[in-house]
Structure 1
Amino acid sequence: MLPAALTERAAQVLRHAEDRRERIATAESCTGGLVAAALTAIAGSSSVMDRGFVTYSNEAKTEMLGVPPQLIASCGAVSREVALAMAEGALAHSRADAAVAVTGIAGPGGGSADKPVGLVHFALARRGEATRHAEHRFEGDRDGIRLQAALTALGLFLPPQPT
């Protein structure tokens, strides 16, 4: 059972994509398919959801999304550059109009001074538009970080909310 907040956000994304007549894709690393799971848990999502890529390993990012191995080697898998390449790769390897990418460190291990646990990079690619990037540092345990990352990734599909 997915948390209600995640299901509600996914339903908003599906309605928004349907209104725009958009098909969407996901490219996920640290969330391990949680974003795609939230979207596909909703009946009728097949009218909007094209596909989800779970690219947990560096090899998967390269093989499935076309992320250059040199980019991963030079910037690290958890980086702005790799998030952008993942989102753009998801578009290139799908029939989607928009794709979101997530790469980060959910913990409890794997962090460093430069890239601490909770650091997550996101990207949203839309056909005909510049790819957008966002970086967040989340607090909490592994499940909490993954949930916050999934909510944030879904939110990128939506128009910015007035502050």
Structure 2
Amino acid sequence: MSLDALIDEARRANTSALFITQAGEVLVDEVMDGQGDRPLATMSVTKGVLSLLVGRAVTLGHLPGADHPVHEVFPEWRQGRKRDVTLRHLMTHTSGLQNVPHAGEEVYASEDRLQLALCAELDAAPSTRFSYNNKAMVLIAGLLERVTGRRLDAFAREELLGPLGITDWHWSVDGRGL
């Protein structure tokens, strides 16, 4: 795809902003929606941030690694196929966890997102199918809170975002604060 075609596609998709670099050179740095310089909802980029926080938790000794079984943190997952789900499965969207295509219909509307995710069944055996899954991210957030003993936003602020100089950020939370 040419750069012009990519920019045109971003405009058709109502992209808020587009930043493209190649070999250290900025090719595109454009606010596309006409709303100027402001914080943008990064949405799925947060999934990468959660993975960085998992790495930080491993470095600090809170977790042995990405292949840590979820049931060791959430004992209610010790039965059936859930017993085989690892943190890596959650991070790579291969957990088999039941999913709906639009998170707003189920996950964001839930007062207790962690309970929603913990109670979800598996639609597939772990590692057999990719399914982009917001409930899996909720489980990672809950798991990180349990193993670090800190709210996820505090852990992120102290261990990742603050040291990077990122101070202007916000995560949505559910009714219980996750």
TM-score by length of 2: 0.26
User: Which structure carries more strand by proportion?
Assistant: 1
Give the structure, 1 or 2, with the largest relative contact order (CA under 8 Å, sep 6 or more): 1
